Structure 1
């Protein structure tokens, strides 16, 4: 069966990816809370993941590490559905049944990432705000917010900051399409190496390891931009008066990177990387494992197991 843009196979990949990512994120959600707090709250002294989680629980309650879980899960589900659907449908349409290459995986990953960013950025802006709402910050310049839920956050942001605020951080997000693109390129490349031309289903440990390796490389390479993305989504910066949105975005990103480097040194650009790697590597590894198992079981029921493994 040819994998076209509007095929059932693309839908299976999309649903499997969404289900896998939601389950994995739910398991490791406190680690993402620690990562985001380290990125946004620059004056926080605690630098290790256990230390900051202990601080959050002590100051804000036992459930504080799970604050904002629902909007994050909703955003992640939509985001991964869009990404997996676009990646596999574009890749299948381009290859038309032939085996992929690393350059093809990178190109298709970037294309899927661009579509994903443009469609889902408003969801990520809202979930960043909700996740940080009610937090006890060390940085006195951070303004408190009062959103009662996802829809109220959307309404308040549009009313007080304009519709464009829902796409805060879009430019660094577009640059960050390299993250999942690199991740999928490494992941798919390692899968091909492990299979070595023989169509077979990888073991759970193999999928977990190559998923972890792929995400670790992609995260480390793009982490400084991820920090700037989180700051911009939180919406605590003064509005730019420049007419050119592109030039304004470029100058804002440059200013944030330079200021953070001057204030904390080069390693300040990687503040929170430990928490991010711990969270994202474990989450990605578990996500790929669940994704592969869900997709494999579905294709087996559909009678498409061999075609699925040969194409990948």
Structure 2
């Protein structure tokens, strides 16, 4: 089994676990981003209170709306990303080694090359998996009224008042009726630009990791002296820096992917990325681009830290099982 495939599978596994742990935060954050009320410039009530309100008025299951396709999307995204990242990384390392043999460079992949590798891998991932995330956004932002307890009893028939479950098939059907096949790639432009997020994240992560490994090697412990806790902290630091820089694009992407408002209010109908940015600034102000950022920082940093830690451990375990030695994570 190739290193690329092992890293892809490990990345998917780590991503799924991180998603399960942080999904309620992600649901609340997506709702914060797509909230059209200009008076709510951020998480005014606090993330925990907003989660409580969702559970109170819609039921706890709404915190996990879209979890099924989200897990599929996470596994696909992480698997695709890490698979192609390892392939492109191997090629970059091979090119660096050839330059070193010719007397150019030190034989290692620099920060700029790492950024390019991450960006290309991210673009491939976005183009292949964007339809999944449009559906997830639709399901996260769909709101339903919780029925009174008596109406929820299984032996009472109340078809007239029972809302149709908002599942994956319904979200897919509504999106297709609204925008056709192209609707499944809504928000792809800001998402492609947001490739800079994982690119910055991985550049920071690898830079910090390499420095830590060198420090371990100089201390006599060797590069394998890096612990799971240190990987967790490095992943968190890298994701924090990337999230702060790119968050406004994430808000625009969520607005484009969410279901468009019905009625004649054109303020909330977005024809594209530029139209969305223009209307958001005009009707809601600059602060709209930072709605829910506190929630996102907590969710994304925790998810990234868990992902990195679990992925690294899975790669090590796979190396020991298959080859009797530790594989090299990207």
State the TM-score, normalizing by the size of structure 1. Answer: 0.84
Q: Which of 275, 284, 298 is equivalent to 1:252?
A: 275
Cα 1:99/1:68, change in 2 over 3 Å: same
Q: 2 CA distance for matches of 1:274 and 1:159?
A: 35
In the other structure, the counterpart of 2:253 is: 229
Matched, 1:64 2:62: yes
In the other structure, the counterpart of 1:211 is: 235
Q: 2 CA distance for matches of 1:66 and 1:20?
A: 19
Q: CA deviation at 1:165?
A: 0.5
Matched, 1:133 2:142: yes
Q: CA deviation at 1:149?
A: 3.2
- The answer on whether the counterparts of 1:133 and 1:146 sit within 8 Å (CA) in structure 2 is no
Matched, 1:290 2:290: no
Q: 1 CA distance for matches of 2:318 and 2:259?
A: 41
In the other structure, the counterpart of 1:124 is: 133
- The answer on whether the counterparts of 2:66 and 2:167 sit within 8 Å (CA) in structure 1 is no
Matched, 1:154 2:172: yes
CA displacement 1:235-263 (0-9 Å, x = unmatched) = 4169xxxxxxxxx645224314523xx62
- The answer on whether the counterparts of 1:199 and 1:306 sit within 8 Å (CA) in structure 2 is no
Range moving further from structure 2, 170-179 or 48-57: 48-57
In the other structure, the counterpart of 1:269 is: 289
Q: 1 CA distance for matches of 2:165 and 2:61?
A: 18
In the other structure, the counterpart of 1:73 is: 71
- The answer on whether the counterparts of 1:23 and 1:287 sit within 8 Å (CA) in structure 2 is yes
Matched, 1:300 2:309: no
Q: 2 CA distance for matches of 1:148 and 1:56?
A: 16
Cα 1:78/1:24, change in 2 over 3 Å: same
Q: 2 CA distance for matches of 1:158 and 1:114?
A: 24
Structure 1 unaligned spans of 5+? 1-6, 137-144, 239-247
CA displacement 1:64-104 (0-9 Å, x = unmatched) = 21222111111111111111111111111221265322111
Cα 1:53/1:301, change in 2 over 3 Å: same
Cα 1:132/1:268, change in 2 over 3 Å: closer
Q: CA deviation at 1:301?
A: 1.9
In the other structure, the counterpart of 1:92 is: 90
Q: 2 CA distance for matches of 1:160 and 1:250?
A: 17
Cα 1:166/1:201, change in 2 over 3 Å: farther
Give matches, 1:46-61, under 5 Å.
47=44, 48-61=46-59
Task: Give the match's secondary structure for 1:225.
Answer: helix
State the TM-score, normalizing by the size of structure 2. Answer: 0.79
Task: Give the match's secondary structure for 2:250.
Answer: helix
Range moving further from structure 2, 191-200 or 30-39: 191-200
CA displacement 1:146-195 (0-9 Å, x = unmatched) = 77533443344224421100000000001000011100110111100000
Give matches, 1:164-243, under 5 Å.
164-196=182-214, 198-236=222-260
In the other structure, the counterpart of 2:159 is: none
The structure with the larger Rg is 2
Task: Give the match's secondary structure for 1:308.
Answer: coil
In the other structure, the counterpart of 1:22 is: 16
Task: Give the match's secondary structure for 2:236.
Answer: helix
In the other structure, the counterpart of 1:109 is: 118
CA displacement 1:99-154 (0-9 Å, x = unmatched) = 32211111011101110111100111111112222346xxxxxxxx9775334433
Q: 2 CA distance for matches of 1:75 and 1:171?
A: 18
Q: 2 CA distance for matches of 1:271 and 1:162?
A: 29
